[in-house]
Amino acid sequence: MGVVEKSLRIAQIAPLFESVPPQLYGGTERVVSYLTEALVRQGHQVTLFASGDSRTTAELVPVCDRAIRLDTRHPDPGALHLLMLEKVFQSASSFDVIHCHLDSGAHLPLARRSRVPVITTLHGRLDVAGLDSLYAEFSDMPLVSISDSQRRPLPHAGWAATIHHGLPTALHRPSFTPGNYLAFLGRVSPEKGLEHAISIAQRANMPLKIAAKVDRADEHYFRTHIEPLLGERGVEFVGEINDANKGSFLGGAAALLFPIKWPEPFGLAMIEAMACGTPVIAFRCGSVPEVVDEGVTGFIVENEDQAVECVERVKQLDRQACRSRFEDRFSDERQAREYVNLFMRYGGARCQLRA
């Protein structure tokens, strides 16, 4: 008997720190939104467990009124995530597959005991003490990495696939004329290397526009290391921006500076820039060599000196080719198809039973 073509019933479990999609900054929740909407368009029945201020064409099961980061009541994250997991697994029999995006691993004991397959995508860094023991215990639980480099600290975990992130191709309108400034997009924290971006721009005699959020945990770093530099010539701090503003911000730049100093699991800002036709100058860390196509979508460098040299070179890159490579490699439809193939490996039998 052949495989019966049928839509999957998929539960998507999102972190509650940001809405889906986020109002401002938020990488994981933004990816969950893009994936969820693409799965719905492809004909699957998707239920999204997320904060109540989320917006989706899937069925939304709200766990709290609003995202934790923007809730002035400062609710306990652990309590709300446990409540969400209880809601998910109470209704587990309604799904063919459960897809979890929680890095905490709190769902793993429930997942092991679930009759419904549970697949976990890990979005964060994995070189953290304790994670090796956790994923050694739960090595039977299928995991998805968002880059091959993300896996390196946990080579013996239950890896089922690597699936790179994707964006809707219509989200950003590309600009094929190089801009007159450099851009930095993301989060202000030591590992993101904003001080390097400022130095690179100044040494290259280019203005730098910074669109970034400052977490509470990074306020001291921002005040002591970054804020004193913001009054210098050509450095403009824009603050957090949403998707509606990213197109003009990134599309108007000559390049995105991505001078990271940590094993970045993916780096959504890189493909957001490519979607706008804007190439990337990035330090060789984490996923960067998997995401940036050298000499096409940008340049991979070892240090500030090389980055400064590439500021002039990057203006000569074909921005239409940059956009085309984004469409080929990093669309949300491609991402969704790869997840569906994986879901069918684990939940396809339940589909056939319903046929």
In 3D space, the residue among 49, 199, 207 whose CA is nearest the CA of residue 118 turns out to be 49
Q: What is the pLDDT of residue 230?
A: 87
Backbone torsions φ then ψ of 119, nearest 5 degrees: -115, 135
Please provide the average confidence, as pLDDT, over all residues in the chain.
93
Query: Across residues 300-313, what is the average pLDDT?
Result: 97
Query: Across residues 87-108, what is the average pLDDT?
Result: 96
Q: What is the pLDDT of residue 2?
A: 38
Give the list of residues 6+ apart from residue 276 with CB closer than 8 angstroms, or none. 172, 173, 174, 175, 246, 247, 250, 251, 323
Which tokens in the block code for residue 27? 């990488």
In 3D space, the residue among 53, 107, 55, 49 whose CA is nearest the CA of residue 78 turns out to be 107
Distance CA 12, CA 88 (A): 9
- Cβ-contact 271, 280 below 8 angstroms: no
- For the stretch 238-258, pLDDT in tens is 988 888 889 999 999 999 999
pTM exceeds 0.85, yes or no:
yes
Q: What is the pLDDT of residue 4?
A: 36
Q: What is the pLDDT of residue 233?
A: 79
Task: Give CA separation, 309 vs 97, 169, 203, 251, 302, in Å.
Answer: 49, 31, 10, 21, 12
- Whether residue 295 is predicted with pLDDT greater than 80 in this model: the reply is yes
CA angle centred on 20, ends 129 and 64, rounded to 5°: 85
**More confident position, 70 or 136:** 136
Local confidence band at 353 (pLDDT 50, 70, 90 cut-offs): low
CATH T-level fold of 182-329 = Rossmann fold (3.40.50)
In the chain, % of residues over pLDDT 70: 96
Count of residues making up the chain: 355
CATH number of 9-166+331-354: 3.40.50.2000
Lay out the sheet containing 182-187: strands in order across. Answer: 235-237, 208-213, 182-187, 255-258, 280-283, 298-301
Q: What is the pLDDT of residue 325?
A: 98
Distance CA 67, CA 80 (A): 10
Local confidence band at 216 (pLDDT 50, 70, 90 cut-offs): confident
Which residues of the chain are in CATH 3.40.50.2000 domains? 9-166+331-354, 182-329
Task: Give CA separation, 209 vs 70, 183, 291, 350, in Å.
Answer: 25, 5, 23, 50
Q: What is the pLDDT of residue 111?
A: 96
Least trusted range by pLDDT, from 205-209, 214-218, 298-302: 214-218
- For the stretch 145-184, pLDDT in tens is 999 999 999 999 999 999 999 999 999 999 999 899 999 9
In the chain, % of residues over pLDDT 90: 84
Upper half-sphere CA count for residue 190 (Cβ side, 13 Å)? 4
- What single-letter amino acid sits at 232? E
- Whether residue 346 is predicted with pLDDT greater than 90 in this model: the reply is no
- Cβ-in-10-Å burial (0-12, 13-18, 19+) of 329 comes to middle
Query: Across residues 105-125, what is the average pLDDT?
Result: 96
Q: What is the pLDDT of residue 349?
A: 66
Which tokens in the block code for residue 34? 């893009």
Distance CA 274, CA 269 (A): 9
Distance CA 254, CA 112 (A): 48
Element at 311 (helix H, strand E): helix 304-314
Please give the torsion angle defined by the CA atoms of residues 208, 190, 216 and 65, in that order, rounded to the nearest 10 degrees.
80
**What angle, 0 to 180 degrees and rounded to 10, lies between the N-to-C axes of helices 268-275 and 319-329?**
120
Query: Across residues 287-303, what is the average pLDDT?
Result: 98
Local confidence band at 3 (pLDDT 50, 70, 90 cut-offs): very low
- Cβ-contact 192, 260 below 8 angstroms: yes
Beta carbons within 10 angstroms of residue 106's beta carbon: 15
- Whether residue 313 is predicted with pLDDT greater than 70 in this model: the reply is yes
